[in-house]
Amino acid sequence: MRQLPADFFRTPHAFYGQLRAEGPVHQITLRNGVRAWVVVDYDAAKEVLRHPDIRKDPHSTTGAQARQTAAGSSGVTAANQRLSYHLLNADPPHHSRLRKLVTPAFAPARMEALVPRVEAIADELLDRLDPTAGRVDLLEEYAFPLPITVICELLGVPVEDREPFREWSAAVVDTPMSTPEGMRKATDAIVDYFDGLVALRREHGLGDDLISHLLTVTDDGDRLSHDELISMAFLILVAGHETTVNLIGNSVLTLLNDPPRYRALHDRPDAVAPLIEEVLRHNGPVNMATLRYTTAPIAVGATEIPAGELVLVALGSANRDERHFTDPAAFAPDRPSNHIAFGYGIHYCLGAGLARLEARIALTRLIARFPELRLAVDDDELRWRESILIRGLLDLPVDLAGAPVDSVLR
Ligand code: HEM
The protein residue with its alpha carbon nearest to ligand 1, atom 19, reads 349
Query: DSSP alpha helices (H): ranges in 85-159?
Result: 94-102, 108-112, 115-127, 138, 145-155
What is the model's pLDDT at position 172? 78
Average pLDDT of span 190-199: 93
Average pLDDT of span 113-141: 94
Q: What is the DSSP letter of 379?
A: G
Does any ligand 1 atom lie closer than 6 A to the CB of residue 355? yes
Residue 205 contacts residue 223 (beta carbons within 8 Å): no
What is the model's pLDDT at position 352? 97
**Over the stretch 10-68, which tens digit does the pLDDT of each residue have?**
999 999 999 999 999 999 988 777 889 999 999 999 999 999 999 999 888 877 777 67
Q: Ligand 1, closest atom to CA 290?
A: 16
How many residues in the chain? 410
Write down the mean pLDDT value for the chain: 90
What is the model's pLDDT at position 409? 41
CB contact set of 240 (below 8 Å; sequence gap of 6+): 147, 150, 151, 154, 351, 354
Residue 252, domain extent? 2-409
Q: What is the largest CA-CA distance in the chain?
A: 62
55: β partners: 293
- DSSP per-residue string spanning 46-72: HHHHT-TTEE--TTSHHHHHHHHHHHT
- Domain count within the chain: 1
Ligand 1 binding pocket mutation candidate from 97, 106, 231, 243 (most atoms within 8 A of CB): 243
pLDDT band at 360 (very low <50, low <70, confident <90, very high): very high
392: β partners: none
Average pLDDT of span 317-345: 97
CATH classification of the domain holding 101? 1.10.630.10
Which amino acid, 31?
R
Does any ligand 1 atom lie closer than 6 A to the CB of residue 150? no
Q: Ligand 1, closest atom to CA 151?
A: 30
CB contact set of 286 (below 8 Å; sequence gap of 6+): 243, 315, 316, 341, 343, 389, 390, 391
Distance 356 CA to ligand 1 centre (A): 12
Ligand 1 binding pocket mutation candidate from 277, 349, 357, 361 (most atoms within 8 A of CB): 349
Does any ligand 1 atom lie closer than 6 A to the CB of residue 235? yes
What is the model's pLDDT at position 145? 93
Average pLDDT of span 69-78: 61
